[in-house]
Structure 1
Amino acid sequence: MVLPAVLLFAAFHTFPALQGIYYSFTNWNGISLDYEFVGLKNYLNLFKDTVVKDSYIFTFKFAVAASILVNIISLAVAIGLNAKIKGRNFFRAVYFLPNVLSVLIVGFIFNFFFTNILPDLGEKYKIEFLAGNILGNADLAWIGILLVFVWQACAFNVILYLSGLQTVSTELYEASSLDGANAWQQFWKITFPVIAPFFTINMVLSMKNSLMVFDQIVAMTAGGPGYSTTSIALLIYNGGFSGGEFAYQSANAVIYFIVIMVISVIQLKFLQKREMDM
């Protein structure tokens, strides 16, 4: 019963990945049948390419900011939704809704919002900050993408944090209240240690997803203005499939895979050690 799934996974995932590693040692442009082995030339050239370097800097900056915001907002919303309020199941469904929407469609909608609606409102009400198109500003475009990414990413993280909060016994809160603990002390000494495994999962997943940001950028800025919002994933896609750099960007993808794997392993080890220390 498992064999068909294994064969499909190997055919559409493992084999293409191994092919990409193979082509990374060649000079194939992705179209012609002729290519030569160039050894480590592609990998060495990556470290000299300023466009690649800038893409890595942008991606890491974006990933750090997104991971922090996603987890802070998600945890705060989850705590609010976990409270005994009327209609909390309705609000849980509302907060999860962004997770089921198409990322590209959401990106196109917000592209229109930032490009047309906000500037019109800024001009109408004489708000200078809103009058300009944020996506057309090389220094601010990434913030627009960040807002959309965080809004959509929080939906899944909220559900995970809600699951964690369900494991916290109310008796612990009652006992701490009798001892005079305030809300912050209860959170830091009771809630957070109990949900630490969920925090670990959310941090690793949010960092990994942030590093792989692609759809929002395609829909909102296409990597511009210039290369100011070009993530590594977008650079690999554009260079590999339309820029005649298939082998070169295959090498970039291999390096990128190693970077994400190393970051994820370091995160897991550090955060799991922190769980044990709590």
Structure 2
Amino acid sequence: MVKQRSAFYLMTIPALILFFSFHTIPVIQGILYSFTNWDGFSQSYAFIGLKNYMNIFKDSNVLNSYLFSFKFAIVTTILVNALSLLIALGLNSKIKLKSFFRGVYFLPNVLSVLIVGYIFNYLFSNVFPLWGEKLGIEVLSSNLLGDLNYAWLGIVFVVVWQSIAFNSILYLAGLQTISQDIYEASNLDGASKWKEFWSITFPLIAPFFTINMVLSMKSFLQVFDQVIALTGGGPGRVTQSIALLIYTGGFQGQEFAYQSANSVIYFIVIIVISFLQIKFLQKREMDM
């Protein structure tokens, strides 16, 4: 038994070495670089303390990117979870071709994020404007992604369309853990569908709701691929997310140390938000 357990521990060593080499060490290096003025290319750099961190809070470009990222993440998280739950409720009901519809709804999640982004970029630029002109819809008559006020909604649409699949599967898994006997008892008591959902279904799938909300918010705060494929952060910089700013500034703008500090702050922000979400939602689970 001891030899078997030792063998299991030894089998984890290669994975630990790879994780430490390609994740832990780069993270530590990034934190150390955030206290310097390194541009990412020079052979020498100097220690400047907390100067990068102080300058970030004065940088309007960074603050605007945070505002966009939070606005995008909040709206997308709400839409994805609301629509995913509705779809899961429909797929869990007694409908024909249930397996077929499950496959159709999950298909977007299989596709590459960048490929989906470039396809919708073409649709927004060439196809939707033609439909908008023929149908007399002014908003769609021009490229939505080129509009300063509505470009972010185009990204929201694409991300919601592709993200619904995964969340629907999680909600569907939660719904299938509920015994049908509970619903039969509620029907005998004459409970309405809304009362049944709010008093039985939602409290019993509350842990799945917590998981989906936390994962969605964390993922959407780090939006990158869809922005690259759809708008590139434009028009201007109105759709520039924090992840995109860190990438472009750090690797193309010779701001490696500065954006390293930005990434450290962003990491802390995401951790704090996730912790608060879990604490609030789990407390809500207990109150139900």
Q: What's the TM-score bracket when you normalise by the shorter of the two chains?
A: over 0.9
Residue 185, structure 1, aligned to residue 195, structure 2? yes
Q: Paired residue for 1:86?
A: 96
In structure 2, give the amino acid aligned to 1:156. Answer: F
Residue 216, structure 1, aligned to residue 235, structure 2? no
Deviation at 1:141, TM superposition (A): 0.2
1:143 to 148, 153, 174: 153
In structure 1, give the amino acid aligned to 2:21. Answer: A
C-alpha distance in 2, partners of 1:221/1:67?
Answer: 20
Count of residues in Structure 1 that have an aligned counterpart in Structure 2: 278
C-alpha distance in 1, partners of 2:70/2:279?
Answer: 20
**Matched ranges for 1:8-27 at <5 A:** 8-27=18-37
Deviation at 1:100, TM superposition (A): 1.1
In structure 2, give the amino acid aligned to 1:184. Answer: W
Q: Paired residue for 1:237?
A: 247
Residue 198, structure 1, aligned to residue 212, structure 2? no
Residue 68, structure 1, aligned to residue 63, structure 2? no
Question: What is the SS of the residue equivalent to 1:167?
Answer: coil
In structure 1, give the amino acid aligned to 2:269. Answer: V
Residue 125 to residue 186, structure 1, CA distance change in 2 (3 Å): closer
Deviation at 1:126, TM superposition (A): 3.7
Q: TM-score, normalised by structure 2?
A: 0.95
Q: Paired residue for 1:255?
A: 265
Q: Paired residue for 2:278?
A: 268
Deviation at 1:129, TM superposition (A): 2.4
Deviation at 1:250, TM superposition (A): 0.2
Q: TM-score, normalised by structure 1?
A: 0.99
2:62 to 52, 60, 74: 52
C-alpha distance in 2, partners of 1:40/1:262?
Answer: 21
Identity %: 67
Greater shift after overlay, 56-65 or 115-124?
115-124
C-alpha distance in 2, partners of 1:125/1:269?
Answer: 47
Deviation at 1:90, TM superposition (A): 1.1
In structure 1, give the amino acid aligned to 2:232. Answer: A
Deviation at 1:120, TM superposition (A): 1.8
C-alpha distance in 1, partners of 2:135/2:195?
Answer: 44
In structure 1, give the amino acid aligned to 2:249. Answer: G
Q: Paired residue for 1:155?
A: 165
C-alpha distance in 2, partners of 1:127/1:253?
Answer: 41
C-alpha distance in 2, partners of 1:86/1:74?
Answer: 19
1:28 to 17, 29, 38: 38
In structure 2, give the amino acid aligned to 1:48. Answer: K
C-alpha distance in 2, partners of 1:94/1:106?
Answer: 16
Question: What is the SS of the residue equivalent to 1:2?
Answer: helix
C-alpha distance in 2, partners of 1:191/1:125?
Answer: 40
In structure 2, give the amino acid aligned to 1:259. Answer: V
Q: Paired residue for 2:114?
A: 104
Deviation at 1:25, TM superposition (A): 0.3
Please list every run of 5 or more consecutive structure 2 residues that lacks an aligned counterpart in the other structure.
1-10
> For 1:52-108, what per-residue CA distance to the aligned partner results, in whole angstroms no more than 9, with x for missing partners?
000001100001001100100000000000011111111111111111110000000
Q: Paired residue for 1:115?
A: 125
Deviation at 1:128, TM superposition (A): 2.3
C-alpha distance in 2, partners of 1:129/1:253?
Answer: 36
Deviation at 1:122, TM superposition (A): 2.2
Question: What is the SS of the residue equivalent to 1:159?
Answer: helix
In structure 2, give the amino acid aligned to 1:180. Answer: G
Q: Paired residue for 2:5?
A: none
Residue 66 to residue 125, structure 1, CA distance change in 2 (3 Å): closer
Deviation at 1:123, TM superposition (A): 2.6
Question: What is the SS of the residue equivalent to 1:228?
Answer: coil
C-alpha distance in 2, partners of 1:82/1:127?
Answer: 35
Q: Paired residue for 1:131?
A: 141
C-alpha distance in 2, partners of 1:210/1:128?
Answer: 29
